[in-house]
């Protein structure tokens, strides 16, 4: 583990005039910062009103002074600070070249998020946590040149908060992307989780990864049955993360008998309203 430090502003800081324009200056003025290898940026005080572009630009402009940072998380805030669907992100296009040493990047929020042309020789982990992942972002990752990527986690989310694709979008993504060292694949937090489970289970990555993460979505017994049938075909799968789901207890017990470490915690009950069945992904608004 590296030396982790989080920088964030609260409402009082924001009222005092602090925000995205002052964040990088304060980070660089911190005497502890030269020892920080895992940099976490939380609320910039106005995440639902101001994007984080000035923070990104500041890191890029001072790239030599951020050269010791190999893990970066931008947007680490809870709903009381800013709902995930309201977080205004930024354009990361220039970050890839500015931080060639980066091994881990986590981004929370997808509004106004742009990844540009991704080319990075050393990145090992990429996670995007959001209530809805735009197709434009998915396509940037689909075309990415990330030869060392080992872990990929994408929160798909729902259409009301930014996901403007469908199961075929993810099928194409998995077919056309090229991550030769991928070990951990997370396609989660979707309201079409059964469909996505089928897509993932038929993808080329199934024979390569050791961890399959389909958590936080509306996975039902239909998806569970697909997993029961397919997972035994892939002895390389050591971990199956299905926590937060809509499967029955009976299906959960069957899945736990698979030759993998299976997490079926946090079960949810379907709700019926006006003749319709309702299920919700874990993180949306």
**C-alpha distance from residue 270 to each of 87, 167, 247 (Å):** 29, 22, 9
Q: Give me the pLDDT at residue 274, please.
A: 80
pTM over 0.85? The answer is yes
Q: Give me the pLDDT at residue 2, please.
A: 76
Per DSSP, the three-state class of 277 is: strand
Q: Which residues of the chain have pLDDT under 70?
A: 1
In a domain? residue 132: yes
In a domain? residue 238: no
The CATH code of the domain that includes 129 is: 3.80.10.10
In a domain? residue 47: yes
Beta-bridged to residue 125, according to DSSP, are 104, 151
In a domain? residue 226: no
| 151-186 confidence digits (pLDDT tens) | 999 999 999 999 999 999 999 999 999 999 999 999
167 close to 156: Cβ distance less than 8 angstroms:
no
| 129-146 confidence digits (pLDDT tens) | 999 999 999 999 999 999
In the sheet that holds 4-9, the strands lie side by side as 4-9, 38-44, 71-74, 104-108, 125-129, 151-157, 184-190, 211-213, 239-241, 261-263
For residues 142 and 164, give the distance between their C-alpha atoms in angstroms, rounded to a whole number: 16
**Domain count within the chain:** 1
Q: Tell me which DSSP letter residue 91 carries.
A: B
In a domain? residue 189: yes
State residue 212 phi and psi, 5-degree precision: -115, 125
In a domain? residue 234: no
In a domain? residue 218: no
Q: Give me the pLDDT at residue 1, please.
A: 58
Residue ranges making up the domain that contains 13 = 4-206
For residues 72 and 229, give the distance between their C-alpha atoms in angstroms, rounded to a whole number: 38
User: How many CA within 13 A on the CB side of residue 149?
Assistant: 24
Record the tokens describing residue 146, joined without a space. Answer: 């990330």
CB proximity list for 37: less than 8 A, separation 6 or greater: 2, 3, 4, 68, 69, 70, 71
Beta-bridged to residue 40, according to DSSP, are 6, 73
In a domain? residue 262: no
């Amino acid at each position: 583990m590296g030396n982790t430090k989080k920088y964030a502003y609260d409402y009082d800081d924001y009222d005092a005039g602090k925000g995205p324009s002052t964040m990088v200056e304060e980070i660089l003025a911190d005497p502890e910062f030269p020892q920080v290898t895992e940099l976490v940026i939380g609320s910039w005080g106005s995440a639902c009103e101001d994007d984080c572009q000035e923070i990104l630009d500041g890191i890029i402009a001072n790239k030599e002074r951020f050269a010791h940072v190999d893990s970066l998380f931008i947007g680490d805030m809870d709903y009381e600070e800013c709902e995930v669907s309201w977080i205004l992100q930024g354009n990361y296009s220039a970050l890839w070249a500015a931080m060639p040493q980066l091994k881990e990047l986590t981004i929370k929020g997808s509004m106004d998020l742009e990844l540009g042309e991704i080319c990075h020789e050393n990145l090992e982990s990429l996670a995007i946590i959001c209530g809805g992942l735009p197709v434009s972002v998915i396509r940037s990752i689909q075309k990415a040149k990330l030869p060392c990527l080992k872990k990929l986690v994408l929160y798909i989310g729902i259409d009301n908060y930014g996901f403007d694709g469908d199961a075929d979008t993810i099928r194409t993504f998995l077919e056309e992307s090229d991550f030769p060292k991928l070990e951990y694949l997370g396609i989660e937090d979707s309201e079409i989780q059964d469909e996505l489970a089928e897509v993932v289970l038929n993808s080329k990555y199934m024979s390569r990864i050791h961890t399959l993460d389909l958590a936080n979505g509306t996975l039902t017994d239909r998806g569970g049955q697909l997993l029961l049938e397919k997972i035994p075909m892939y002895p390389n799968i050591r971990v199956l993360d299905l926590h937060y789901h809509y499967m029955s207890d009976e299906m959960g017990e069957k899945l736990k008998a698979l030759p993998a470490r299976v997490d079926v915690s946090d079960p949810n009950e379907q709700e019926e309203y006006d003749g319709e069945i309702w299920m919700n992904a874990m993180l949306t608004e």
